[in-house]
Structure formats: structure tokens, C-alpha cells
């Protein structure tokens, strides 16, 4: 049986956060910087300057570097927040009494979050799979998604050959539809194809999947 995890993991620590009492203005600066960095990276990619991020956040560049000594630290902090949001969503969905409702809610909430954050995630996604600072979060998100999936499989409402990495990739596939450039597409078209995915994970009429699922170790 896996060890229980605390409700939330500690934030990625930066220089100022080692202080015994984090000042309220410093906390607000941190949030402004992370929000600005997400927007700027989504618009300009990782080549965007820290000067532009600081300007967008309404802080000095020195303040940015006190919070995040390097651009890499900033990227990791953004990803930590995104992974924490996925964990929180999965944990909330585990509170649903009906296992299928829990899975459906998880897919819908997560895909909607990812659709609205697609640009930032595309800009920084390569960092997510490799940085050691995110290892505990990667492990935890797979654990909690696995719990959600196993409960539904034991109830017989989700096919039994799916794994937690499958679920992670399926949500990514559904959210990526928002990035399709085609004139006249509805912004909520992803909901149509999410319906197809949800039908596909039910056991009724399921056929054998090939190839096998991706190794879980790649996601941890």
C-alpha cells in the first residue's frame, strides 16, 4: 500500500523563502512574477527576457532575481504550481461518491485548465520530465491519478487495461485541440472530443490496446 501523501507539497524554495517569516509583499511579488512569466513564456517562448517578465509583473529585475535566481528556477516554480493544481483536482474528484462521475469530472476540469494554459505549458513542457526538483510532484500526481483510475476500474466503469500515464496523456491530447489553428472553430470544441475520449475509456466494446502503455517511470 502506498504511503499517504500530505495534502500539498512545499513550494519550490527560492532564496527569499528561506526567511523564517515571508513578508506579505514578497508573497504578492512572487505571485505576480509567476503570472507574468506564464503569460510572457506563452507569447514569446523561453527566449523571453527576464526584463520583460519583471516589467509585466510590475517589479524590478532585482526583485525577480531575489525570488528566482535564474530563469530555470522560474520555469520550475511555474511547473510546480501547475502540477499542484492537477493533484488538487484529482484529490477533490476522489471525494465524488460515484467513481465514473469522479473520472469524468477530473478529465473535464483538468482539460479546461490546460486549454486556458496551453501556451505556457507548451513553452516549458520539456523541463517538466527531467528536473529533480519536481520529482516528488511527478510521483505524487501519478499516485493520485492511479487511485482515481483504480477505483473506477474496480467499479467496472473504466476499462481495466488503462494506466495512470495513459490518463495523463489522454488529458493532454484533449487539451491540445485548443491549439489547432483553423478559422471558425469554437473555443469549446475540445468538449466534443473529450466526449469521444470518455466513451473510449469505458469497458463496453473495448478491444485490445496496442502497443502497451508508456512506462510509469518516464512520468516519475
Candidates 219, 193, 87; CA nearest to 148 is 87
What is the reported pTM?
0.81
φ, ψ for residue 58, nearest 5 deg: 75, 30
Residues 98-121: what's their mean pLDDT?
A: 87
Mean pLDDT of the chain: 84
Cell of 199: 466513451
Q: Is residue 1 part of a domain?
A: no
CA distances, 37 to each of 24, 53, 69, 76, 85 (Å): 20, 5, 14, 11, 17
Instruction: Report pLDDT digits (tens) over 40-91.
Output: 888 887 888 999 999 999 999 999 998 999 888 998 898 898 899 999 999 9
Query: Is there a domain that residue 5 lies in?
Result: no
Q: Indicate which CATH number applies to the domain containing 196.
A: 1.10.357.10
DSSP 210: S
Is the pLDDT higher at 183 or at 141? Answer: 141
Instruction: Report how many domains make up the chain.
Output: 1
Helices (H), the chain: 24-44, 50-57, 61-67, 71-93, 99-116, 118-128, 135-154, 164-175, 190-200
Whether 189 maps to a domain, the answer reads: yes
Distance CA 13, CA 40 (A): 22
Report how far residue 6's alpha carbon sits from residue 214's, in angstroms, rounded to the nearest whole number.
Answer: 27
- CA neighbor of 198 nearest in space, from 156, 167, 160: 167
| Domain contains 97 | yes
Distance, C-alpha 39 to centroid of its chain: 16
10 falls within a domain: no
Q: Looking at the domain assignment, is residue 59 inside a domain? A: yes
In a domain, 7, yes or no: no
The per-residue pLDDT for range 129-141, each reduced to its tens digit, is 678 888 999 999 9
Q: Are residues 114 and 175 in contact, defined by beta-carbon separation less than 8 angstroms? A: yes
Q: pLDDT tier at 127 (50, 70, 90 boundaries)?
A: low
Q: 3 in a domain, yes or no? A: no
Q: How many residues does the chain have?
A: 220
Of residues 146, 190, 144, the one with CA closest to residue 171: 190
- Max intra-chain CA distance, the chain: 59
Sign of the alpha-carbon dihedral angle for 108, 113, 118, 121: negative
Question: CA 33 to CA 52: how far, in whole Å?
Answer: 11
**What range does the domain containing 152 cover?**
15-219
Amino acid at each position: 500500500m502506498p504511503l499517504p501523501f500530505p495534502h500539498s507539497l512545499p513550494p519550490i524554495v527560492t532564496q527569499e523563502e528561506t526567511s523564517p517569516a515571508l513578508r506579505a509583499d514578497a508573497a504578492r511579488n512572487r505571485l505576480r512574477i509567476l503570472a507574468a512569466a506564464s503569460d510572457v513564456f506563452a507569447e514569446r517562448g523561453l527566449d523571453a527576457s527576464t526584463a520583460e517578465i519583471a516589467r509585466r509583473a510590475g517589479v524590478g529585475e532585482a526583485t525577480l532575481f531575489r525570488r528566482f535566481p535564474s530563469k530555470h528556477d522560474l520555469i520550475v516554480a511555474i511547473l510546480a504550481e501547475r502540477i499542484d493544481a492537477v493533484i488538487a483536482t484529482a484529490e477533490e474528484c476522489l471525494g465524488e461518491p460515484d467513481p465514473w462521475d469522479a473520472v469524468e469530472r477530473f478529465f473535464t476540469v483538468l482539460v479546461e485548465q490546460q486549454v486556458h494554459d496551453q501556451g505556457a505549458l507548451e513553452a516549458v513542457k520539456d523541463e517538466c520530465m527531467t528536473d529533480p526538483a519536481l520529482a516528488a510532484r511527478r510521483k505524487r500526481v501519478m499516485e493520485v491519478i492511479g487511485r482515481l483510475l483504480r477505483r473506477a476500474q474496480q467499479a467496472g466503469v473504466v476499462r481495466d487495461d488503462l494506466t495512470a500515464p495513459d490518463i495523463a496523456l489522454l488529458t493532454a491530447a484533449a487539451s491540445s485541440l485548443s491549439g489547432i489553428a483553423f478559422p471558425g472553430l469554437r473555443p469549446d470544441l475540445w468538449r466534443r472530443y473529450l466526449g469521444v475520449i470518455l466513451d473510449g475509456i469505458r469497458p463496453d466494446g473495448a478491444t485490445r490496446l496496442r502497443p502497451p502503455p508508456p512506462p510509469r517511470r518516464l512520468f516519475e
